[in-house]
């Protein structure tokens, strides 16, 4: 009985880790065309000390919350878009369109 509980706990933990890696890789694949376009037309590439993104509220009408990004970050600005990449976390945020902007303080 105890062995089954330990095995189930192990399976759940490994499954959760696999789910997170698959989800991140899927997001990177979606951003790949934009990332390549930005890299081809780089106007500015610099290191960031502090960065935050505005997360959307999870509920209808809930206000967004600024989410701080930890670890080393890099800002790459292209002609029509910009990208914040976090190499250690294997994450990147690609922003394009009129709704996206950069605020410098």
Q: Which of 26, 6, 29 is nearest to 18 (CA)?
A: 26
Could you give the number of structural domains in the chain?
1
Domain residue limits at 10: 2-96
In a domain, 103, yes or no: no
pLDDT per residue over 28-44, tens digit each?
666 667 777 777 777 78
Which pair of structure tokens corresponds to residue 66? 């600024």
- Does the pLDDT of residue 101 top 80, yes or no? no
Which pair of structure tokens corresponds to residue 89? 């976390």
In a domain, 104, yes or no: no
Q: What percent of the chain has pLDDT over 90?
A: 0
């Amino acid at each position: 009985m105890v062995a089954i509980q330990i095995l189930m706990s192990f399976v759940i933990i490994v499954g959760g880790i696999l789910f997170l890696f698959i989800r991140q890789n899927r997001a990177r694949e979606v951003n790949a065309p934009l990332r390549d376009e930005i890299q081809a037309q780089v106007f500015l590439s610099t290191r960031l000390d502090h960065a935050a993104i505005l997360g959307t509220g999870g509920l209808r009408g809930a206000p967004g919350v600024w989410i701080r990004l930890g670890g080393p970050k890099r800002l790459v600005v292209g002609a029509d878009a910009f990208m914040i990449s976090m190499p250690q976390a294997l994450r990147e945020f690609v922003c394009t369109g009129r709704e996206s902007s950069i605020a410098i303080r």
